[in-house]
Structure 1
């Protein structure tokens, strides 16, 4: 299983008046981690989209454990939690500099035809992605 780590400096704009990160920012951080993982696996979202394939989020589940704060650097670890040839579930774990878990969760994705938005088989239409995901899933 491959795990990618992405460091994120918590910006003031991501926090409320108490300096606590707003929950919606974790979704953005998951995207940063997921994109980095895909790049480290040798693929590129932009190339996927230019080929006429999109990969929308169909489910996201995040459990908030402890708040992250302005001025901290958090690390988001990202991996392929599961993959079945059609659906990909990415796993996430975010912790602060002290090693305290801030968030854990998953997001589920499918690939769809850009024109019809109908799901496609990754195994059939993206054989290189399929092989790599099979190799690196949990």
Structure 2
């Protein structure tokens, strides 16, 4: 199973009055990690959408363990927990690079839909794209 490791540095704008990263930013980081993960399959989100494939969120989850702070170097680990022809579940670990501490972990569930937002069977309709994603899952 492939795990993408995306490195980021916490920006001041991402922190709150308490000096820690505001909880909403973790979802933006998940999206960055997911985008980089998709790139590893040999395509981009833009290419998926140009082919008529969209991946709207159906469910999100984040458990906050320890707060990230301004200028922390963090790593977003992204991997596929579950892949079916109609949905994908990505898992994420947010790790502080300096000490390896797990700061947060989360998941997003996305469905494969066409431009009319009707669920599609990715394996049947786009077997080449399915194969690229499946290769990163197994």
Q: Same fold (TM over 0.5)?
A: yes
* Structure 2 match to 1:112: 113
| Alignment root-mean-square deviation, CA | 1.2
Structure 1 stretches of 4+ moved >3 Å: none
Which aligned pairs between 1:1-138 and structure 2 lie closer than 5 A? 1-96=1-96, 97-114=98-115, 116-137=116-137
Superposed CA offset, 1:83-117 (max 9, x none): 01111001100111211111111101111111x21
Between the two proteins, the alignment pairs up a number of residues equal to 137
In the alignment, structure 1 segments of 5+ residues that lack a partner are: none
More strand by share: 1
Task: Please say if residues 80 and 133 of structure 1, whose CA atoms lie closer than 8 Å, have aligned partners that are also in contact.
Answer: no
Work out the CA distance in 1 between the residues paired with 2:79 and 2:122.
18
CA distance in 1, matches of 2:37, 2:94: 15
Q: Deviations over 1:57-103 (max 9, x none)?
A: 11111111110001111100001111011110011001112111111
